[in-house]
Amino acid sequence: MTGGDQSQNGNSDKIPPRIDDEPKKVHTANESDNARQDLHIETRIERAEARTEQAEMRTEEAKSRTEQAEMRTEQAETRTEQAKTRTEQAEMRTERAETRSEQAIRDSELSYRRLFEATKDGILILEADTGRISDVNPFLIEMMGYSHGELVGAPIWELGLFKNIISNKARFEQMRERGYEFSENLSLETRVGHKMVVEFVSNAYRAGDRNVIQCTVRDITERKRTEDQIRGHNSELEHRVAERTAQLETANAELKSANIELDAFGNSVSHDLRAPLRYVLGFVEMLRKDAGSSLSPESLTLVARISKVTKDMENLIDDLLSFSRLGKSKIQKTEVNLNKLVQGVMSDFQGPSKERNIAWTIQPLPTVHADRALLRMVFVNLISNAVKFTGKQAEPKIEIGSVPGDEKETVIFIRDNGAGFNQEYAGKLFGVFQRLHSQSEFEGTGIGLANVQRIILRHGGRTWAEGVVDKGATFYFSIPK
């Protein structure tokens, strides 16, 4: 192998570049540059498009904000117009209010003027700074007899008319400083010399732009005269009351003394009358035992009659003493169950009830606040009368019950179908010794119903009766609740 071959062979792995490869590389580089340029251009275009879109969006937003601003502007203009409208309405209302206020002031001034001219009290208006009279009402002119011109314009203290009220300027200033002043029983003389007693009231206030004092003069002459008459009558009445009180005190002292004497007399009568009566009864009994068999029937009848009359006299003395003591005994009120009280009283009448077959009707009775012992005496007397006055009835009936009274009292009644009485004489029933039946018809002393009335009156109640001859009677009494 030659050297050239060796060289060729030795560099067989290194292929020399071909001449036509250089343009290819340049072309590839250009393409790369172009691609980069194109990419850069596209990026710039995209960025431009993005900025364009952003600009368009900002433009849209700007348009939207502009539209919103225009809307707010329109709303503001609307509100401004509404505010103007409300302002105009407020001004109109203010004008109307001012008009009404002015009208109210005019109405008030008119009402005051009418009152000023129509009132039946004298009124004068004074200027507070000067004390001059600026106005007077018609009633003051009529009351005092002066003309309007004679009073208006003059200081009040210079008018002799009011010399007893405001005698000088210092007195006026004192009244002005006080603001309000009231005086009564002041003397005032009219132009014709008629004297009167007046009530004077002054009241300072502001009228518009000036201070005034309103003075009211009221004629109280008649009222004063009436008060004096009343005081005179009261003084005379007090004098009469004092005299009457002295008379009552004297009468009470005399009555107390008389009661003491009456008690002594009653005790004396009880002793002095009972002793002879006991002697009479004793002698009669001795006569009946010693000579009874030798006495004729007529004599025995007389002896029996003497004995009976003597016993009746004893009963009368007992009843009179009981009646006199009722007014002095102290009432001890408790809660009294009338059902139990009547049951206890009924035990005293079991004998007559069985013998005569009396039909009893006893209703449920209430509880009352009363003196139990005295109330028992009431029932004993009334039931005793019912038993006695039904003595001639073949079928005697007695009823005890209560009837509705007013809210302040309890009303109890005892009714029978006995002899009854003439209602015309009902007022006499409760008097001492007042009898509507003879002693021969029905026995008794005539004290029982008087005792009943006295007991009930001491309780603050009342008694009354209703009756028909031969058809029975009903006796009522009330106990305050």
The secondary structure of 156-194 as a DSSP string is GGG-GGGTTT--SHHHHHHHHHHSEEEEEEEEEE-TTS-
pLDDT of residue 7: 43
pLDDT of residue 342: 94
Are 465 and 340 contained in the same domain?
A: yes
pTM here? 0.43
Query: Is 2 inside any structural domain?
Result: no
- In this structure, are 338 and 437 located in the same domain? yes
Task: Give the containing element (helix H, strand E) for 140.
Answer: helix 138-144
- The residue with tokens 């006055």 is 389
In this prediction, residue 464 carries a pLDDT of 93
Same domain, 361 and 259: no
Q: Does 7 reside within a domain?
A: no
What pairing do the DSSP bridges indicate for beta strands 195-207 and 210-219?
A: antiparallel
Predicted pLDDT at 136: 92
To 10 degrees, what angle do helices 448-458 and 297-326 make?
Answer: 10
Q: Does a structural domain hold residue 225?
A: no
Q: Which of 262, 295, 328 is the last residue of a domain?
A: 328
End-of-domain residue from the set 301, 328, 355: 328
User: Distance from first CA to last CA of the chain, Å, rounded?
Assistant: 175
DSSP alpha helix (H) spans, 119-154: 138-144, 148-151
* Residue 69, SS3 per DSSP: helix
**Same domain flag for 369 and 450:** yes
Given 310, 328, 346, which residue is the final one in a domain? 328
Based on the fold, state whether residues 298 and 368 are members of the same structural domain: no
Residue type, 386: A
- State CA 313 to chain mean position distance: 60
CATH number of the domain to which 146 belongs: 3.30.450.20
Cα(477)–Cα(409) distance, integer angstroms: 10
Question: Taking Cα atoms as reference points, which of 358, 75, 122, 323 lies closest to residue 217?
Answer: 122
Would you say residue 475 lies in a domain? Answer: yes
Using CA atoms, how far apart are residues 159 and 169, in angstroms rounded to an integer?
12
Q: Identify the CATH number of the domain in which residue 286 sits.
A: 1.10.287
Q: Tell me if 59 is assigned to some domain.
A: no
In a domain, 295, yes or no: yes
Domain range for 128 is 119-219
Amino acid at 51: R
**How distant, in Å, are the alpha carbons of 124, 156, 175, 184 from that of 172?**
14, 8, 5, 17
Among 279, 348, 345, 352, smallest CA distance to 314 is for: 279
Amino acid code (one letter) for 347 = S
Split the chain (481 residues) into runs of 10 and give each run's mean pLDDT. Answer: 44 49 60 78 86 88 88 89 89 85 74 80 91 91 88 84 79 88 86 88 88 92 91 92 90 75 64 73 81 80 81 69 65 92 86 82 94 88 89 90 85 92 80 54 64 89 91 93 88
pLDDT of residue 394: 86
Are 430 and 355 contained in the same domain? yes
Residue 136 in tokens: 């007077």
Query: Which of 188, 184, 192, 197 minimizes the C-alpha distance to 162?
Result: 188
Question: What is the CA 150 to chain-centroid distance, rounded?
Answer: 54
For residues 274 and 205, membership in a common domain is answered with no
Assigned token pair, 230 = 């009343």
Whether residues 239 and 355 fall in one domain: no
Evaluate whether 405 touches 366 at the Cβ level (below 8 Å). no
Beta bridge partners of 132: 155
In whole angstroms, give the CA distance from residue 25 to residue 18.
12
Burial class (CB in 10 A: 0-12, 13-18, 19+), 327: exposed
Q: Do 215 and 126 meet the contact criterion of CB atoms below 8 Å apart?
A: yes
Whether 36 is covered by a domain: the verdict is: no
As given in the structure block, the two tokens for residue 429 are 């029933």
Whether residues 250 and 294 fall in one domain? yes
Contact 196, 214 (CB under 8 A): no
Kindly list the distances between the CA atom of residue 95 and the CA atoms of 14, 88, 101, 102, 103, in Å, as whole numbers in the listed order. Answer: 118, 10, 10, 10, 12
Please, where are the H alpha helices in 327-392?
Answer: 338-346, 350-356, 372-389
Q: Do residue 343 and residue 315 come from a single domain? A: no
CATH classification of the domain holding 386: 3.30.565.10
For residues 291 and 299, the answer to whether their CB atoms sit within 8 Å is no
Q: Which two tokens stand for residue 206?
A: 């502001």
- Residues 135, 270: one domain? no
CA 109 to chain centre: 41
Residue 226: predicted pLDDT: 92
Residue 33 within a domain: no
The per-residue pLDDT for 164 is: 74
Residues in the chain: 481
Tell me the C-alpha distance between 151 and 172, whole Å. Answer: 16
Residue 47 one-letter amino acid: R
Report how far apart, in Å, the C-alpha atoms of 421 and of each of 418, 435, 445, 449 are.
Answer: 9, 10, 17, 14
Calpha distance 55→48 (Å, rounded): 10
DSSP state of 146: -
The answer on 474 and 414 residing in a single domain is yes
pLDDT at 33: 75
The number of folded domains in the chain is 3
**With contact defined as beta carbons under 8 Å apart, do 415 and 472 qualify?**
yes
What is the torsion angle, in degrees rounded to the nearest 10, for the CA atoms of residue 297, residue 299, residue 301 and residue 304? -130
Cα-only R_g, the chain: 64
From CA 469, how far away is CA 472, in angstroms rounded? 7
- Given a contact cutoff of 8 angstroms between Cβ atoms, the answer to whether 345 and 380 are in contact is yes
